[in-house]
Amino acid sequence: MSYRHSRTARAVLRSLVPVICPPEAVPLGDAIVDHLELTLAVSPAVLQRGFAVGLVTYDLGALPRYRQRARALRGDDAERYYASWEHGATPLHVQLARGINQLMSLSCYEQPEMMARVGYRPGPWITEVTQRRLTVYRDDVTRQQAQILAPDPLRPGVRVKPERA
């Protein structure tokens, strides 16, 4: 888990939060980018490298048209520039835009506030059903746990070495 966004990558990603995420998630921008970093840290090394290079390219690619880097674009300019990659001229443009969208959407809806917004509250549900299972089916559960360890040799009567102490 060694991946760290470069300063450029972080700035680009931060500027893309209003483009990718719903408006209500924009105040969570730093947390979303932090989460994205955690996700990338466990992804394949080649993906990490590709993503880092892609973000630098994305940042610099805005210069000819907007005379500023992508990280500095706001509002409609940021939207139009991202869309130009989303429907881009090459598969690499499209792939990078899609990758940013996927990772940022994931990180966005991993925020507790966003999960709560869509009604997803798994913690209390897990607690409730766990207790119910262990109450209603207590005997069966205990029986299954005992079965897991009970002797049941695959070849009855065959033991290749003496029993260990």
Partner 1 sequence: MVAAALLEGPRPPNVFTRADIHGDTVLDADVVVVGSGAGGATIAAELAEAGFEVIVLEEGSYYQTRDFTADTSAMVRQLYRDGGATMAIGNPPILYQEGRAVGGSTVINGGMSWRTPDKVLARWERELGLEGIARDLEPYFARVERRIHVAPMDDEAIGNDNRLLKRGADAMGWKVIGNLRNQAHCAGSNRCAFGCPTGAKQSALVSYIPRALHYGARLYADVRVDHITRHGKRATGVIGTVNGSGHRITVRARLVVSACGAIHTPALLVRSGFRSPSGQLGHNLSMHPNTKVVAIFDEDVTGWKGAHQAYQVREFQDQGLLFAAVNMPPSILAMSFPHRGAALGQLMQHYDRMVLAGMLCEDTATGRVRTINGRPQAFYQLADADAANLKRGVVLLSEMLFAAGARRILLPFHGLAELHSADEARRLLSRDIPASSCEVVTVHMMGTARMGTDRSAAVTDPFGLVHDTDRLLISDASLFPTPIGVNPMETIMALATRAAGHVIDNAARYLS
Site residues for partner 1 per CB under 8 A: 1, 18-25, 35, 38-39, 41-44, 47, 79, 98, 101-103, 105-110, 114-115, 117-120, 122-123, 125-126, 129-134, 136-138, 140-142, 144-145, 147-149, 151-155, 158-164
Tokens, residue 149: 């360890």
The phi, psi pair for 162, rounded to 5°, reads -60, 155
In whole angstroms, the minimum distance from the beta carbon of 10 to partner 1 comes to 18
Q: Is the CB of 92 or the CB of 141 nearer to partner 1?
A: 141
Q: Is the CB of 57 or the CB of 105 nearer to partner 1?
A: 105
The DSSP output letter for 150 is: S
In whole angstroms, the minimum distance from the beta carbon of 61 to partner 1 comes to 19
Q: Which helix (H) or strand (E) holds 33?
A: helix 29-41
Instruction: For 80-110, give the DSSP string.
Output: HHHHHHHT-SSHHHHHHHHHHHHHHHHHHTT
